[in-house]
Amino acid sequence: LAKTTQPISMDSYEGQEVNITCSHNNIATNDYITWYQQFPSQGPRFIIQGYKTKVTNEVASLFIPADRKSSTLSLPRVSLSDTAVYYCLVGLGGSQGNLIFGKGTKLSVKP
Partner 1 sequence: GAVVSQHPSRVICKSGTSVKIECRSLDFQATTMFWYRQFPKQSLMLMATSNEGSKATYEQGVEKDKFLINHASLTLSTLTVTSAHPEDSSFYICSARSAGTGDYNEQFFGPGTRLTVL
Q: Which residues bind partner 1 (CB under 8 A)?
A: 32, 34, 36, 41-46, 49, 87, 91-104
Task: Find the shortest distance in angstroms from Cβ 16 to partner 1.
Answer: 25
Q: 13 or 46, CB closer to partner 1? A: 46
Q: b/e for 30-60, b at 16 or more Cβ within 10 A?
A: ebbbbbbbbeeeeebeebbebeeeebeeeeb
Task: Find the shortest distance in angstroms from Cβ 60 to partner 1.
Answer: 15
Task: Find the shortest distance in angstroms from Cβ 40 to partner 1.
Answer: 9
Q: 31 or 82, CB closer to partner 1? A: 31
Task: Find the shortest distance in angstroms from Cβ 86 to partner 1.
Answer: 11
Cα(87)–Cα(85) distance, integer angstroms: 7
Strands laid side by side in the 53-56 sheet: 18-23, 70-75, 61-64, 53-56
For residues 50 and 27, is the Cβ–Cβ distance under 8 A?
no
Q: 16 or 102, CB closer to partner 1? A: 102
Cα(90)–Cα(66) distance, integer angstroms: 16
Q: 13 or 101, CB closer to partner 1? A: 101
